[in-house]
Amino acid sequence: MCGRFTLTVDADSIQTYFPWLEDIPAQIVPRYNIAPTQPIAVVPNDGRNAVDHFVWGLIPFWAKDPSIGSRMINARAETLAEKNSYKNPFKRRRCLILADGFYEWANVTGQKTKQPFYFRMEDSAPFAFAGLWEEWHSPEGSQLKSAAIITTEPNPLVSKLHARMPVILHPEDYPLWLSMAEQRPQELQHLLTAYPAEKMVAYPVSTAVNSPTNESPENIIPLS
């Protein structure tokens, strides 16, 4: 799974790495410990090529209680076409979720506290998770947009710590993933594979990141 991630760059840097984006909110600020139910930077397939802020945790349009989203932060790539909550978004409502790293935790012999590790690109560049989004309307008429990160089998680097990893899309696959046209699952499934381990690095970081209230640049500094 992916339960915590980062986006530590500002709007100007996002524009540099995603030059095709046409609208990026200037108020984007570096985030070092993004947790479920918090706002995340999303590019939905609505044809605008724009960054929006959605809630992390997909809320199906048919849900009676939006709190269900806290249990739907990840969607398994292998079963997207089968699950009621994900099959329609998989066909029609896909998105990029902007990030530049994510955390996983390792058990430590003799200790209750797990050791967090930070995963990022070798060159520290931002990237995009494959995501699904949904629009939920309350009985009072308010609207809430939400998203989930798709996960897949891990590459050899991530598999040392976890049995799943988030799907990181290659830039050449963005146009297909963001197509406004309805897509059949078999046309997209080949995109949902593990990102090459040789292009990534991982290292232990401070246990301060274990608390989502800790939003500090020190969260991603390697332990000496």
| Interval 104-147: pLDDT, tens | 999 988 888 999 999 999 999 999 999 999 999 988 888 999 99
User: What is the domain extent for residue 109?
Assistant: 5-220
SS3 for 165-206 is: EECECCHHHHHHHCCCCCCCHHHHHHHCCCCCHHHEEEEECC
pLDDT of 127: 98
- Flag whether the pTM goes above 0.85: yes
Please state, in angstroms and rounded to a whole number, the distance separating the CA atoms of residues 35 and 4. Answer: 5
Q: How large is the average pLDDT for residues 179-208?
A: 97
pLDDT of 176: 98
At 72, which CATH number? 3.90.1680.10
Please state, in angstroms and rounded to a whole number, the distance separating the CA atoms of residues 43 and 139. Answer: 27
pLDDT of 139: 85
Distances (CA, A) of 179 to 56, 87, 91, 92, 93: 22, 16, 10, 9, 9
Please state, in angstroms and rounded to a whole number, the distance separating the CA atoms of residues 156 and 75. Answer: 21
Q: Which of 2, 95, 172, 215 is labelled catalytic?
A: 2
pLDDT of 207: 96
pLDDT of 224: 81
182 annotated active-site: no
pLDDT of 161: 96
168: Cβ contacts below 8 Å, ≥ 6 apart? 127, 128, 129, 130, 195
Within 13 Å, how many C-alpha atoms sit on residue 104's CB side?
Answer: 19
> What percent of the chain is modeled with pLDDT above 70?
100
Q: How large is the average pLDDT for residues 188-195?
A: 98
15 has pLDDT over 90: yes
Whole-number average pLDDT of the chain: 96
> What percent of the chain is modeled with pLDDT above 90?
94
Nearest to 78 by CA among 195, 196, 189, 186: 189
Q: Which of 95, 104, 172, 182 is labelled catalytic?
A: 104
Q: Comparing 138 with 92, which gets the higher pLDDT?
A: 92
Please state, in angstroms and rounded to a whole number, the distance separating the CA atoms of residues 32 and 217. Answer: 6
Tokens matching residue 20:
């095709």
Please state, in angstroms and rounded to a whole number, the distance separating the CA atoms of residues 55 and 36. Answer: 8
13: Cβ contacts below 8 Å, ≥ 6 apart? 126
Please state the domain count of the chain.
1
pLDDT of 118: 98
Please state, in angstroms and rounded to a whole number, the distance separating the CA atoms of residues 174 and 164. Answer: 22
Please state, in angstroms and rounded to a whole number, the distance separating the CA atoms of residues 162 and 107. Answer: 11
Nearest to 21 by CA among 6, 31, 9: 9
104 annotated active-site: yes
1 has pLDDT over 80: no
Q: How large is the average pLDDT for residues 201-218?
A: 96
